A and B are shown apart, each in its own frame.
Chain A
Amino acid sequence: MKHDLELKLQAWLDGELPPAEAEEIRRRAASDPEAARLLAELQNIKAAFLHNEPTVAVPETRQFYWSKIERQIQRQAAARPAPGLSWAERLRRWLAPLAGAAALATVLLLALNQSAPPVLNQVSDMAEGFKTRTFRDDSAGINFVVFHETEQPSAARIRDDGSSFVVEYE
């Protein structure tokens, strides 16, 4: 017998065949002894299962069985965020650590800027006949003019040490 016919016989038995095909298979089962025998075997097994599911009981006491379930529920509840939080509250909780990190980074940057004194570079050499040098602080938009009593090396810069300006020569 072809496998396709075997599966159709079974589908007919299980009520899974469309009506048009069901009638064809019913006629086949009635006229083909081999098909009828196979159908009878499948029917016997189907009938044997009906209301005869093997029974088995939990091999643990009620309390012991429940205690593991209860522990798991409590453990998972502790690991989850409290229910009922609005999306805004969840977003706030998620962003809070980021905002803290950003604030810390800003403070560190400011501290670094304060600890590194600005250095003002010279923008013009001593002019012929004048014992002066000019320096510019671009961030403050200020020019500094330094008057010298004597000739000095050409390369120099001004450093702000916090309380006064120091002229450095190379």
Chain B
Amino acid sequence: MPDQQENSTDVELVRSAQSGDMRAFEELVARHRDKIYARAYSMMRNEDEALDLSQDAWVKGWQRLGQFQGDSSFVTWMIRIVINLCLDQLRKLKRKRAESLEAMEEESGGVERQMPVTAPNPTEGLERAELRLRIDRALAQLSHEHRTVLILHEFEQMEYREIARQMQCSIGTVMSRLFYARRRMASLLVGLRRENLE
């Protein structure tokens, strides 16, 4: 890998890649592959699927480079691509999935509807690394729909309207899913804190 590319900015590399320079694109992949893979993994919770989808996202990114206008950063643009691929994959999985109690309770909130409000704050006083670990473990226990809406809102800072468009549902559904996802997270984090104390 030439040093020149390692020292180039993303904007310069994107410009070279748009002219057909695959080495410049390889450098962009090397720089941002962890972020793209991490987003796929956070949504799919499966290493193999996350690898495949993140690599597919890079292939799509190369094919659509001509459409990238620089309105957002390159990595933000790539994250949108991988999110779309993950949502497509989750929709396929949902179609295959048999109607389960979890699926039926998803919109109504299931047990979260009756859960008492948690107090005190289950994340208070935790070191950042420990907090991240617990958030990760709790996220893994959510349904795909609840996890996705949390990721898009809290990590991608998407508004309700944009999440509804991405997830192909109503704004009301987004609000319900987000509410129950947060309540479930609160309950799971309390549980993890208790486990830690015992």
A residues lining the B interface (CB < 8 Å): 3, 6-7, 10-11, 14, 16, 34, 37-38, 40-42, 44-50, 52-60, 62, 65-66, 68-70, 72-73, 76
Contacts and interface: CB of A to CB of B under 8 A. Distances in A.
A56 B183 contact: no
Interface centre among A11, A37, A41 (most CB of B within 10 A): A41
B25 to A, nearest CB: 8
Contacts of B155: 49, 53
Interface of B: 22, 26, 29-30, 33-34, 37-38, 41-42, 47, 51, 54-56, 58-59, 62-63, 113, 117-119, 121-124, 128, 131-133, 135-136, 139, 150, 153-155, 159-160, 175-176, 178-179, 182-183, 185-186, 189
Given A38-B117, A40-B119, A48-B189, A54 B42 contact: yes
23 contacts: A6-B179, A7-B179, A10-B175, A11-B160, A42-B179, A45-B123, A45-B182, A49-B154, A49-B155, A54-B135, A54-B136, A56-B38, A56-B42, A58-B37, A58-B51, A58-B54, A59-B51, A60-B51, A62-B30, A65-B29, A66-B29, A69-B29, A72-B55
Given A49-B150, A49-B154, 9 more contacts: A37-B119, A45-B185, A46-B154, A48-B131, A52-B128, A52-B132, A55-B38, A56-B37, A60-B51
Contacts of B176: 7
A41 B62 contact: no
Contacts of B54: 58
Nearest to A74: B22
B59 A72 contact: yes
Contacts of B38: 53-57
B90 to A, nearest CB: 18
Contacts of B56: 72
